[in-house]
């Protein structure tokens, strides 16, 4: 009787408002969010805003005049030419490398993956220097190239080569984990149904990695258009001829033509925004595919 009469003691009334065991108090949460937003605001939002503000401060017409001025147009044209060559090359390389690495087991695979990462680690300036020394007029192949009237350094081919070097990993790095995660079953399944390798690639593999390819290409494209340090060394900075957009921006800035510099910059900044937008889109699709109910 007595045991029934004394109930379980009530929870202490001084207990704080109910809080999950794995949550922080509200003030800490607000503080952390505040710190994060301030940091990102200072380092991400303001620089972007300053570019756009500088570009459009004096009106659309000034902006338009700045990007259609002959030297600017020449820089844009050269940049587009370079990416039109480099991006397809690195796309083919990325898909081939990812196929070999994701679908097969072979010795030395991890060494190969490290090699593909190498351009990430090397300073762009060193990349430029490597090719100046190899292909420049005082370089090893210089005399031979001069004999055959081939100009690579301080000319467009040199720019293409160093940008190809610098942006080599982007498509491959995007596709390798994606294809490894997808495994081989769908390809095996396609083969048992009588398809050949080519049919399997186009009809089964490619649709599965499509979005990874798209993001890889866009990122590769953005990095190729924006490549600066390596190009600065090999281009020779001939106005209207071997200046890419970033070099043109540098020239304008050093001549105190800030509005023009920001106008050209705004094009590249826009491209960067498109790039991260595509990345978010790809990730969002991915998430939705993995948890269809959640979205």
Partner 1 sequence: MSIEIEHINKRYGHFTAVDDVSLSLPEGQLTALLGPSGSGKTTLLRIIAGLEFPDSGRIRFHGEDATDVHVSRRGVGFVFQHYALFKHMTVFDNVAYGLTVKPRRLRPGKAEIRTRVMRLLELVQLDWTANRLPSQLSGGQRQRIALARALAVEPKVLLLDEPFGALDAKVRAELRRWLRRLHDEIHLTSVFVTHDQEEALEVSDRIVVMNQGRVEQEGTPEEVYDHPANPFVFSFLGQVNLFHARVQDGQARIGDLALPTSTPEDQPQGHGLAYVRPHDIEILPDGSAQGALAAVIEGITVVGPTARLELKVAGGKDLIHAELPKSRLRSLGLSRGSDTWVRPLNSRVFMDNGARAS
Partner 2 sequence: MTLALRQPSVIPGFGITLGFTLFYLGLILLIPIGAFLLYTAQMSWADFWQAVSHRQVVASYKLSFGASLIAALLNLVFGAIVAWVLVRYRFFGKRVIDALVDLPFAMPTAVAGIALVTLYASTGWVGQYLEILGLRVAYTQLGVVVALTYIGLPFVVRTVQPVLEDLDRELEEASAILGANRLTTLRRVILPALLPALLTGFALAFARALGEYGSVIFIAGNLPFRTEITPLLIVAKAEQYDYPGAAAIGTVMLLAAFVLLLLINALQWWTARYTRR
Give 1-61 as a DSSP string: -HHHHSPPPPPPTTPPSP--TT---HHHHHHHHHHHHHHHIIIIIHHHHHHHHHHHTT-HH
Q: Which of residues 252-291 bind partner 1 (CB under 8 A)?
A: 289
Q: Which of residues 27-66 bind partner 2 (CB under 8 A)?
A: 29, 32-33, 35-37, 39-40, 42-48, 50-51, 54
Span between the terminal Cα atoms of the chain, in Å: 55
250 binds partner 2 (CB under 8 A): yes
Q: Distance between CA atoms of 263 and 69, rounded to whole angstroms?
A: 11
Q: Which of residues 10-29 bind partner 2 (CB under 8 A)?
A: 21-22, 24, 29
With CB cut-offs between 5 and 8 Å by kind, which of partner 1, partner 2, none does residue 292 bind?
partner 1
Q: What is the CA radius of gyration of the chain?
A: 27
With CB cut-offs between 5 and 8 Å by kind, which of partner 1, partner 2, none does residue 117 bind?
partner 2
Q: 2 vs 138, which CB is nearer to partner 2?
A: 138
Q: Are 274 and 219 in contact (CB under 8 A)?
A: no
Q: Are 177 and 103 in contact (CB under 8 A)?
A: no
Site string for partner 1, 154-173 (x = CB under 8 A): --------------------
CB burial string 139-149: b at 16+ within 10 A, e below: beebeebeeee
CB of 107 to partner 2, least distance (A): 5
Q: Distance between CA atoms of 287 and 295, rounded to whole angstroms?
A: 8
With CB cut-offs between 5 and 8 Å by kind, which of partner 1, partner 2, none does residue 179 bind?
none
Segment near partner 2 (CB under 8 A); pick from 1-9, 63-71, 107-115, 143-151: 107-115
Segment near partner 1 (CB under 8 A); pick from 3-11, 20-28, 51-59, 195-203: 195-203
Q: At what angle do helices 46-56 and 258-290 cross, to 10 degrees?
A: 130
Segment near partner 1 (CB under 8 A); pick from 42-50, 118-126, 192-200, 261-269: 192-200
Give residues in contact with partner 1 (CB under 8 A).
185-186, 188-196, 199, 203-204, 207-208, 289, 292
């Amino acid at each position: 009787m007595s045991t029934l009469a004394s109930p379980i003691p009530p929870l202490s009334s001084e207990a704080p408002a109910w809080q999950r065991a794995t949550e922080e108090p509200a003030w800490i949460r607000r503080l952390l969010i505040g710190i994060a937003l301030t940091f990102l605001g200072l380092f991400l939002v303001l620089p972007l805003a300053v570019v756009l503000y500088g570009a459009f401060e004096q009106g659309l017409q000034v902006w338009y005049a700045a990007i259609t001025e002959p030297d600017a147009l020449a820089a844009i044209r050269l940049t587009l030419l370079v990416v039109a060559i480099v991006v397809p090359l690195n796309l083919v390389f990325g898909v081939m490398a990812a196929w070999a690495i994701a679908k097969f087991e072979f010795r030395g695979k991890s060494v190969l993956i490290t090699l593909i990462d190498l351009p990430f680690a090397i300073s762009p300036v060193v990349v430029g220097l490597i090719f100046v020394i190899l292909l420049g007029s005082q370089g090893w192949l210089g005399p031979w190239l001069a004999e055959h009237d081939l100009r690579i350094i301080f000319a467009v081919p040199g720019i293409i080569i160093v940008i190809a070097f610098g942006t080599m990993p982007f498509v491959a790095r995007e596709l390798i984990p994606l294809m490894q995660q997808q495994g081989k079953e769908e390809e095996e399944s396609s083969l048992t149904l009588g398809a050949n390798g080519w049919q399997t690639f186009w009809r089964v593999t490619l649709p599965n990695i499509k979005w990874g390819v798209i993001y890889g290409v866009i990122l590769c494209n953005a990095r190729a258009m924006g490549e600066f340090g390596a190009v600065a060394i090999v281009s020779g900075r001939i106005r209207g001829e071997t200046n890419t957009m970033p070099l043109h921006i540098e020239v304008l800035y050093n001549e105190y033509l800030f509005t023009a510099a920001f106008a050209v910059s705004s094009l590249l900044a826009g491209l960067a925004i498109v790039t991260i937008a595509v990345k978010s889109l790809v990730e969002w699709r991915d998430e939705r595919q993995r948890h269809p109910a959640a979205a």
